[in-house]
Structure 1
Amino acid sequence: MSPPDPFTGLSAFLAVAEAGGFTGAAARLGVSPAAVSQAVKALEARLGTLLFVRTTRRVGLTEAGAALLARVGPATAEIASAIEAAGAMGSVPTGLLRLTVPRMAVPLVVEPVVAALRRSHPRIAVEIAVDDATVDVTARGYDAGIRIGEYVERDMVAVRLTRDIAWSVVGSPAYLDARGRPERPEDLTRHEAIRYRFPASGAIYRWEFERDGRALTVDPPGSLIVNDGDLLFSFARAGLGLSYVADIAVAAELASGELEQVLQPFLPRTPGLFLYFPRRAQDQPKLRAFIDVARAVLRKRSP
């Protein structure tokens, strides 16, 4: 009897781990939830250990499942990349391009670039996952991600997409007329801040400033806490308080006068948005096509 195929059941396992459940995994694989469940159970039986903890509300990885994902996820991504690269040599760019992006990048980069990519390379399918948390693209099976430069891991290839970011404290003219315009970071203690909670860590962001060449952080008071950048903008526009945001994300609101900047002499600049990906992925035709289109489109949109 020939030994069992070691890859049997792995696609179902990876899909459930990525989707967080059997229904989502089934939709992604194009099969029934029962088929996915059967494949995972067969894999667990073959390994002699449970890979998932199943409850009525969620499906989570066991310790064994997490250990398997940590090793198989990157290996599977490498295999898929190698197969796709081999098949695409000498042909037009094709295949599924999976990207993880923060919400801020959607109007600035994703919408214009993907629209142009689909027109010029219709054989490239695109899947976009919007997530403000830091994502390990290799472990999660993404081809590439977009993040602010300072959050890109150093072992990744990084391609600049936007200019540097000048951070801004913004509020509506109505709010600032009523509450006054802060002149120093310490003045924020007398204002209402719209605060941001990091999705992954759960920590609340402390506003960063610079004075006399030194870094300064302030944790301003505020009764509104969000984990979504769009809400920072919309609540500030509504006059509910001050928000700490990237200037490129609110350029239209600043130009129209809906929002006004304060404390500009104290605010830092940081690297802008970058596309990042593992070095092994840089020769994929679909990724090269995205980079070429992004450069062409964003060069025209840059001020």
Structure 2
Amino acid sequence: MARENINDIVVFIAVARERSFTRAAAKLGLTQSALSHIVRSLEARLGVRLLTRTTRSVSPTEAGERLLQNVAPRLEEIEAELAAISDLSETPAGNIRITAIDSVIDTVLWPRLAPILPKYPDLHVEFNADYRMLDIAADRFDIGVRYGDQVEKDMIAVRLTPDVQTVIVGSPGYFEWHTKPATAQDLLRHNCITLRLASSGGIYAWELEKDGKPIDLRVHGQAVFTNGYHMANAAVSGCGLAFLTEDLAAPYLADGRLVSVMQDWCPTFPGLHAYYPSRRHSSRALGLIIDTIRHAGGDRISDKRLPSRARRQPDLPRTEHQFEDVRR
């Protein structure tokens, strides 16, 4: 097969997996028109249509699905073998792609990785800030970083942080005009800052806990955001109450811009973990990154070691699931 055919198949696979020329173009660093031309040329050479195109969607045809299912894994095996060969060099090299939410990149990953990059000039790290729960294998990420309860059972996971405490916070100015809440029923009368979940588009219900009993509370308010940074800033401005992780709220609590309430209602969730497919070739570059970002004493985990509440997959932002309103 001509080399250009292989390159064209790589482009087709990206479009078929993304089901979008726009998203595939962004991932490959090419223009949308260039991708469309490449796929049309591949279809012409093969004499068969590979993609069904409409004004709103792109999907593989029967021939395209066969190509995607049978050829894509072989190309990935070739890439893995090439990575293994290049890994025989003494110096870690290559590109490691990591997906995590923005605050985790800022506060955990970058501070730990920045000092080692000058030592390994052939090592490249690409960060993807995304609040969606991605399939890291399908989306071709080497490492995903999420809370421990979000890690799929077939992944290898390494702890990055201790368990995470949650907090309900508001500004001193807000509490000058509003009584501090003491119960879940009180929260329903407050202006609460809410989070829209990236994948489902639904509003996150606050996952509280009282006397060991979990309570999913659907709160309401004037402001809705898609990330924790903006929620924290809105709370500082006096907009209302926010439900955050303690590490995100810590700077504001320390200088008095935020005040914590209802501490006995705020549960602890499993800490952050880096995870990667168990079937993936473990290169020196990947091993170096994992060893650099791992929590001291952090080991691989299994689902059995997670608390029972954790398996319900709370999301800050976390995996989307159905919530019930609490009126008590």
The TM-score with structure 1 as length reference comes to 0.85
Measured on the aligned residues, the alpha-carbon RMSD in Å equals: 2.9
* Whole-angstrom CA distance in 1 between matches of 2:38 and 2:112: 38
1:40 alignment partner in structure 2 = 39
* Whole-angstrom CA distance in 2 between matches of 1:137 and 1:67: 22
- CA gap 1:140/1:262 in 2 versus in 1, 3 angstroms: same
- CA gap 1:52/1:112 in 2 versus in 1, 3 angstroms: farther
* Whole-angstrom CA distance in 2 between matches of 1:115 and 1:35: 35
For each residue in 1:74-131, what CA deviation from the matched residue of structure 2 results, as whole angstroms up to 9, or x when unmatched?
6544432332122212431111111111122122212212312312222111111110
* Whole-angstrom CA distance in 1 between matches of 2:109 and 2:157: 16
- CA gap 1:240/1:136 in 2 versus in 1, 3 angstroms: same
For each residue in 1:49-70, what CA deviation from the matched residue of structure 2 results, as whole angstroms up to 9, or x when unmatched?
2426364xx7x43153678657
1:53 alignment partner in structure 2 = 53
* Whole-angstrom CA distance in 1 between matches of 2:180 and 2:232: 18
Please tell me whether residue 21 in structure 1 is matched to residue 21 in structure 2.
yes
Structure 1 position 170, deviation (Å): 1.0
Q: Which amino acid aligns with 1:244?
A: F
1:107 alignment partner in structure 2 = 106
* Whole-angstrom CA distance in 2 between matches of 1:187 and 1:49: 60
Q: 2:59 aligns with which of 51, 62, 67?
A: 62
Same amino acid, percent of matched pairs: 33
* Whole-angstrom CA distance in 2 between matches of 1:228 and 1:103: 8
2:284 alignment partner in structure 1 = 285
* Whole-angstrom CA distance in 2 between matches of 1:292 and 1:95: 16
* Whole-angstrom CA distance in 2 between matches of 1:114 and 1:67: 40
Unaligned runs of 5+ in 1: none
2:190 alignment partner in structure 1 = 191
Within a 5 Å distance, the mapping from 1:151-300 to structure 2 comes to 151-281=150-280, 283-295=282-294
SS in 1 for 2:181: coil
SS in 1 for 2:98: strand
Structure (1/2) with the larger helix percentage: 1
Structure 1 position 177, deviation (Å): 2.4
For each residue in 1:163-182, what CA deviation from the matched residue of structure 2 results, as whole angstroms up to 9, or x when unmatched?
11111111111112221211
- CA gap 1:26/1:272 in 2 versus in 1, 3 angstroms: closer
Structure 1 position 222, deviation (Å): 0.8
- CA gap 1:188/1:34 in 2 versus in 1, 3 angstroms: closer
More deviation in 10-19 or 248-257? 10-19
* Whole-angstrom CA distance in 2 between matches of 1:26 and 1:194: 32
- CA gap 1:255/1:77 in 2 versus in 1, 3 angstroms: farther
Structure 1 position 36, deviation (Å): 3.1
Please tell me whether residue 12 in structure 1 is matched to residue 14 in structure 2.
no
2:141 alignment partner in structure 1 = 142
Q: Which amino acid aligns with 1:216?
A: I
* Whole-angstrom CA distance in 2 between matches of 1:137 and 1:216: 31
Structure 1 position 257, deviation (Å): 1.3
Q: Which amino acid aligns with 2:58?
A: L
Structure 1 position 266, deviation (Å): 1.2
Quick check: 2:84–2:281 contact (8 Å CA) kept in 1? no
* Whole-angstrom CA distance in 1 between matches of 2:243 and 2:129: 20
* Whole-angstrom CA distance in 1 between matches of 2:256 and 2:49: 60
* Whole-angstrom CA distance in 1 between matches of 2:197 and 2:67: 27
- CA gap 1:274/1:178 in 2 versus in 1, 3 angstroms: same
For each residue in 1:112-163, what CA deviation from the matched residue of structure 2 results, as whole angstroms up to 9, or x when unmatched?
1231231222211111111011010000011111111111111101011111
- CA gap 1:34/1:291 in 2 versus in 1, 3 angstroms: same
The TM-score with structure 2 as length reference comes to 0.79
SS in 2 for 1:280: coil
- CA gap 1:136/1:26 in 2 versus in 1, 3 angstroms: closer
